[in-house]
Structures are given as C-alpha cells and as structure tokens.
Structure 1
Amino acid sequence: MTIGIPAETFTGELRSPIIPADVKKLTSLGATVLVESGIGQGIHTSNDAYVQAGASIANSKHEVLQADMVLRLRKPTIEDIAQLKSGCIHVSYLDPFNEHALLQALAAKNITAISMEMIPRSTRAQKMDSLSSQASLAGYVAVLLAAERSSKVFPMMTTPAGTIQPSRVFIIGAGVAGLQAIATAKRLGARVDAFDTRPVVAEQVKSLGARFVEVELGETGQTKDGYAKALTEEQLQKQREVMAKQCAMSDVVVTTAQVFGRKAPIIITKDMVAGMKPGSIVVDLAVETGGNVEGAVAGEEVMVNGVKIIGLTNLPGRVATHASQMYSANLYNLVDEFWDKETKAFTLNLEDDILNSCVMTHGGAVRKSL
C-alpha cells in the first residue's frame, strides 16, 4: 500500500503532517511512503532526512495525491480532490460541520474520507486525538503571547526597589487548552484563576495550583466525549456577571470556550472589555470558530479602550516543530491501529467505534449528516 503525504500549502502554515521518525515507523509496517519535496521545510527538516527514514520524494503534489492512502493536515481543495485516485483513503482535518460541499465532492469521487476532528475522545483513541494534542500547544502559546505583550512581569519579585506583585491571569475554559494555559501561567509565576461550566474539572484546575471560580449556573455538564455543553442564554448572563468582576481585576484573560461542531459562545462582551484595566491583555483561542470575545478579529491584534485583544490564528503553528511531532504521531497511531500486518494495508472496519465515528464518506456517499 502506498501512502502519500503532500506538503502543506495553506498560507502561513509551517507544520508538517509527518516527521521522519514516523515515516520510518510506517515503512516498518510494510507501507511504501511517498512525500512531496519540501514537506519538512517549515520545521527545518530536509528531504534527505525523509529519504534516510525510508520515504521516496515526489516533485509534484499530483504524484502524491495518486497514492492508495493520503495523509495530510489541512483539508483538501476541490482541485486536490479531482486529482485523488478513486477508492483511495484520505485522512485530514475536514471541518465536516461546515464543509458540506467538500464532503459531497469526496463522496462523488468515491473517496473514503477520515476526519481527524471526529476521532472520538475515548481512552483507546486518545493517541490519535489531534484536536487535543494541538489544543494543548495552543494553550501554551496563548500564555506566552500574553506574557510577551504585557507591560507587567508574571511572577512576584522581591527586589531592593520593592516588591512586585504577580500578574493575575484568568483562564476561561478548563479543557485541554485551558489546562495547559493554567499550567504555563503558573510556571511563569502568575496568580491564576480559572472557570469552566463543568464542575467536574474543578479538581483538575486546583491540582495545577489555580483557584476555581465558582458560578452557580444550575444544571450544566459535558457531552459523552468530554466537551462542554452549550449554555442557555440565562446561564450565559449569570456567567458574564461573574466574569465581568473577574476580568476587571485581571491583567491577562485567556478564553478557550468552544462547543464542538457549533459557533463558539460570546463570553467576554464589549462592556466587560471596557471594564478592564488599560494595558490588560485578552487572548481569544476560539477566534477561528466565531470567537469568545466581542471585538476580536481573526488573525489580528486590536486595541479597545487600552485593552489589547489578540485574535491570532493557528497558534499551534507557532511551535511548528513540536506541533508537527504530535500531529505526526496522531496520524501514525491511526494507521497502526487499523493496519493489517499480513496484507500490509489499512483495514476499513466501519463497525469499529473509532472508524464509525470519523469516516465521513465511503462507497460514494456521505455517511454522516452533521
């Protein structure tokens, strides 16, 4: 079975879908691996490193897209789909909740399309969960961005010139990204407060040394996959009242609240931003799915009443080497889990709970309506 891996061409994308160490693992399974020339450029990895790991180098994307199985990071274009071999397996992010035309195009070409977003959050699938691996890095980067742009230091310092009080950092959302943001802010010495609609995560927040902000919202919870459930408008209003007070006393606010498959909820309103201290920083990690902060602009940093709102996108791409290492491992683990060592091919058992969740198109049809 030939596995083709094209280079990423999305503007500003430095991550690579595969690293040489995982190419070597794929070839050890018995796969023939074909990568596009320059695939490792963004992570300072030469073509020679991939060749030494057992890959062949293709000089054109078309050659790679003709493989039996295609592994990549970003979703394909319609032009890419036209070049895929009918019946092949294509694995990438697909944004299936919004890209219905893309799924129809993949089905029409008889492609078995696996969406990395739809890998279930189960113990067995954890090693393939790229949403979690990349979100963890995003939480780390968000805090570093805030620390670099803040006019204050994070830790408390006792100096001959006096004592400097620690910066106050408020993390909204204690999922994978939020927990990493908490841990990173604590490592830098900040005083950290955090909030999540799911009371079940309070112990995790406290275990990292942060204070869990209590808000009485009534019935809340999480989905079977561990995502926060959407709040009612009344619950959101109660949450905002407490958030406003907390934001007003914070030097840095990081929002990470997302509802899987839906637009991110607005948590920080313009009035709440107006109540913050001049010089404060807000980082909106949900900006790519609609944003948690009113006034946030995807891909930009804006000043609102002296408060800097950071809406930069693709934060994992800012630590591209380790982001690539983690995503590459997710892809390899997916392939390895369903690899038949006798036939040396990827097996499609659609009754398996993992594949049943993430295979979006197969046999010329869209399997799931989202």
Structure 2
Amino acid sequence: MRIGVPREAAADQRLVAATPKTVEQLIKLGYTVAVENDAGARASITDQAYLDAGAELVESSQVWQSDIVITVDAPDLAAVASMNKGATLISRLYPDDAPDFVVAAKEQGITALNLMSVPRISRAQALDVLSSMSNVSGYRGIIEAAEAYAGMFAGQVTAAGSTPPARVFVIGAGVAGLAALGAAGSLGADVRAYDVRSDVAEQIESMGATFVRVDAAAQESADGYASELTDEQEAATMRVYAAESAAADVVVSTALIRGKAPITITAEMVANMKPGSVIVDLAASSGGNCELTEPGKKIVTDNGVTIIGYTDLPGRMPKHTSQLYGTNIVNLLKLMTPEKDGELAVDLEDVIVRGITVTHESSVLWPPPPVQVSAAPAVAPASNPGTQATPEPAVSSPSQNKGRGRLVSAAIAALLLVAAITFSAPAFAMHFTVFVLAVIIGFYVINGVSHALHTPLMAQTNAISGIILVGALLQLGSTDWLVTALAFAAATVASINIFGGFLVTGRMLEMFRKDA
C-alpha cells in the first residue's frame, strides 16, 4: 500500500506529517511513500532529503490518490472527495466540531482515524499525539517567557553584586506542565507548581520543583483526566493562584478539564502581579486560562504584565515537532501492520484502534465507547436515606487475623533472638549489633531515595553485591561447613542480583536508544 504525505493547506501550518527518518521507518514496514513537492519546506526539510530516504515526489493531485493519507490537520471537504473509495486518512480530527467532514468521509467510504482521541492507556503512550504536542508546547512556552521577561531566569553572583533567580509558577502538572517546569528549572529558575490532582506531587518534586499543597484537591477520574472541582475546592485553588501569581515573575497555566480551559487567572490577579512579569497561557487554543488572554496574540496590560496566548507553539519548533508527530504515526502503523507487509489491518477489537476510528466502511463509529484507564476504586453507591442499615455482627476479617499472627510470630522471634544473644559468645553479639544497625541505616537510606533516582541506585546496589560476592568467594575455602554453606548462598544471591541488575538496566537503556 502507498502512503501519501501532502503539503499542509494552511499557510501558517509549518509542520509536516512525515520526516525523512519516519519515511525510512514506514518503508521498513512494507509501505511505499509518496511526498508532495515542498511538503517539508516550512519545517526546513528539503525534497532531496525525502528522496534520499526512499520516498517519491509527486504532485498534489497524486498524493491524495494514495491508499493511506497522513496529514497534520484535517483536510477540507474537497480533499476528502478526491480520495479513493475505501482509503484511510490519519490526522488530527475534530469530529464533534465538524459534522460535515464526518458525513463526507462516510459517503466516500474512508476509514478516518483521529489521532486526537488516542486512549490514555500505557500501551498507547508511544502514539499519543496530544502528549507529543503538549511536551513541545510546555518547552516552547518557557522559551517565549524567557524572551519576554525583563530579567534572567538563573540567579547570578558577580563582583558587581548578585541577582535572585526568577520565580516561576506552573499551573497544571500534565505533560505540558511538567515540560514547562523542567525547562524553567534547567534555566535556573525557582520553580513552584500546583495541580488539582494531589497524586502528582511526587512527579513535580522529582523534577526539582516545589509542589504547592492545598487541603482541598480533586482526584483523577476514571478516564485519566482531572475531575470537576467542587465549590470548596475551586475557592481553595483560586486563593493559591492569587497568592502565587502575585509573587511570581512568570506564570505558566496549562489547566484543561475534559478539553475545556477553566479560568485560573482572573483580571484582578493580573492587576496584582508585578510589572514586567509574564503569563504564558498554554490553554489559549481552548479559550485560555487567563481572563485577559487573547488567543493567538501577545499583549501587555496597563500594569506592565505580558500575556502570551500563542496557539501555535508546537509549530514554532517545526523540525523536531514534525519528527515527534511522524513518530507517533509510525508507532500507530506498527500496531496496525503486524505482519510488516505494507498492508493495513483495521482491528476494531483493539481498544486503541477502536478509540481513534471515526468512520469505517461507510459507517460512523464516533463517538468511541468509553475506556477505563484508571485503577482508582469505584465509588460506593450511596445508601438509601429511607432505609436503616442493619448492623452486622463483629467478625474478625482475614487481614486482622493475619495481623495478629504476624504479631505473635514477631514476639516469638524476638524472644529467640534475645536468648541467642544471651547465651552466645561476646563476639557474636558485637557482630550482630553491627548487622542490625546496618539493616536499619540501609532501610532508611534506600527508602528516602526519590523514585527518579532508582535507576542510578541500581548501579550502586550492583557495586555492593560485587563486594558481597568477593567476600563470599574468599570464604568458600573455609574448613567450617557452615561458613562454606553461607558463603555459597551469599555468592549465589549476589550473582543473581548483579546479573539481574545489569539485565534490567540494559533493557531500560534500550528504551532511550535511537534507532540505527
């Protein structure tokens, strides 16, 4: 089958749906690739680069005659009508806002796959376009803020004096928010962040930022998004936004609830901000989180606050954004081309494929069925106020019985340990005391390490296991059978830990290794 890559119709769209690197990957899947002339010109990708990657260059009318057409933005109705019957379109579609497009795709018998509705499950992360675009938006938002801010992000200590670091406050710790706080932190700013989901605090703190805590916080809903706030929660968060924005030099807002942008920064909050401070509204394309945001524009308020409401932040970095977008499509086609024979298989039993399919075989399959992506327990149904619950007899649960059993076992073990120390040689008591102290210290040291550092920590444990292995090998020649047995057991366990650690580390590094 042939994949067509047209030049984007919108004059301000600088992205392209495939790059030379992703073209090579598509060809490895068995497809042929046809690229429209100058399709990548706005992303600084030459036609020759596509030819070198194995693609063929065609005219606009020919590219739409391909078996599969991949685009960044949804094509117009004329382009849909020019596609072959039964062809496949892969793009960022908005079916709810474009019913005419859905009708046209259905009548043409097109299989329309919407990259904006990828289910939020672990298996689909590699083809999640929203995450890719949000990541770029968060990074680029900080770049725009650094350009508009009148000072430096990093604190400076010079012979002429010192300057404090810029204070950056990030609202929302989704993909865009984490990318923004990471970029701001790398520039040396003092970063603080808040999210209505309290369970993301660890992610924020693992990146070196300070999580602003609030008593009232919302929870993640079953579909992976933040749930609606109650009046009490909303009042608490607005107090946080007011206090933090007044003290911040840069505010980055990324809040979205089910695709809608709630107001997080009111006009009154903007009036209380310092002159020269900057607001980057990453939700501007959905209306904006700031009450004064003008989508697509950068404005300066009467009190000197710059509000950036650009809606094309990913397009301002077209080279790498196109690569990320193209890779998302490659990963989707890997899923839908299991035999790597260049034949697309539309398996509607697959939750990912079903979730992104808008039309197929002249049928409308939108909206898709809901997907349960959260492991949060279901809320227990409320009891009927008209009935009175009958009290159940107190019965010990299995967990309670198990807890008592553990307590008894621990007490017996403690008594045996005291007896062993009492009637053993003094040297044993000294060595055992050192052992117990080492266990306690090791437990608290390892337990206090952030999850973000567990991979380098594995290298340290490998080194410790290596020391244990050397010590065990030295004792294997002992004439005491007990010492020899313990040394053999220690050598075996340490070897398993060392080789297992290297195996796990190797597999983790493979995740970050670029394709050859």
Interval containing the TM-score (normalised by the shorter chain): over 0.9
Find the partner of 1:302 among 288, 294, 299: 299
1:170 corresponds in structure 2 to: 169
Question: Moved runs in structure 1, 4+ residues, more than 3 A?
Answer: none
The answer to which structure has the higher helix fraction is: 2
**Rounded Cα–Cα distance in structure 2 between residues aligned with 1:217 and 1:58:** 58
1:325 corresponds in structure 2 to: 323
2:478 corresponds in structure 1 to: none
1:87 corresponds in structure 2 to: 86
Q: Tell me the alpha carbon deviations over residues 308-358 of structure 1, each in whole angstroms, 9 at most, x when there is no partner.
A: 110011101111111011111111111111114375311000010100111
**8 A Cα contact 1:104 1:365, kept in partner:** no
1:189 corresponds in structure 2 to: 188
**Rounded Cα–Cα distance in structure 2 between residues aligned with 1:52 and 1:104:** 39
SS of the residue corresponding to residue 202 of structure 2 reads helix
Shift of 1:232: 3.5
SS of the residue corresponding to residue 127 of structure 1 reads helix
Name the amino acid aligned to 2:310.
L
Find the partner of 1:361 among 343, 349, 359: 359
2:30 corresponds in structure 1 to: 30
**Rounded Cα–Cα distance in structure 2 between residues aligned with 1:120 and 1:205:** 24
**Rounded Cα–Cα distance in structure 2 between residues aligned with 1:344 and 1:14:** 28
Structure 2 unpaired stretches of 5+: 369-516
**Rounded Cα–Cα distance in structure 1 between residues aligned with 2:144 and 2:237:** 26
Tell me, yes or no, if structure 1 residue 350 matches structure 2 residue 348. yes
2:471 corresponds in structure 1 to: none
Shift of 1:100: 2.8
Check 1:191–1:13 CA distance in 2 against 1; reply closer, same or farther (3 A cut).
same
User: TM-score, normalised on structure 1?
Assistant: 0.95
RMSD between aligned residues: 1.5
Stretch of structure 1 that moved more, 264-273 or 89-98: 89-98
2:141 corresponds in structure 1 to: 142
Q: Tell me the alpha carbon deviations over residues 277-297 of structure 1, each in whole angstroms, 9 at most, x when there is no partner.
A: 111100000000111111101
1:96 corresponds in structure 2 to: 95
What is the aligned-residue identity percentage? 41
Structure 1 unpaired stretches of 5+: none
Name the amino acid aligned to 1:223.
S
User: TM-score, normalised on structure 2?
Assistant: 0.69
Q: Tell me the alpha carbon deviations over residues 62-110 of structure 1, each in whole angstroms, 9 at most, x when there is no partner.
A: 2111111111111111221111112111000002332233222222222
**Rounded Cα–Cα distance in structure 2 between residues aligned with 1:39 and 1:89:** 19
The answer to which structure has the higher strand fraction is: 1
1:287 corresponds in structure 2 to: 284
**8 A Cα contact 1:90 1:114, kept in partner:** yes
SS of the residue corresponding to residue 361 of structure 1 reads strand
**8 A Cα contact 2:29 2:340, kept in partner:** no
1:265 corresponds in structure 2 to: 262
Name the amino acid aligned to 2:169.
F
Q: Tell me the alpha carbon deviations over residues 171-218 of structure 1, each in whole angstroms, 9 at most, x when there is no partner.
A: 000000100101110111110000001111100000111111112225
SS of the residue corresponding to residue 300 of structure 2 reads strand
2:10 corresponds in structure 1 to: 10
Report how many residues are paired.
367
2:394 corresponds in structure 1 to: none
Highest relative contact order (Cα 8 Å, sep 6+), 1 or 2? 1
SS of the residue corresponding to residue 122 of structure 2 reads coil
1:249 corresponds in structure 2 to: 247
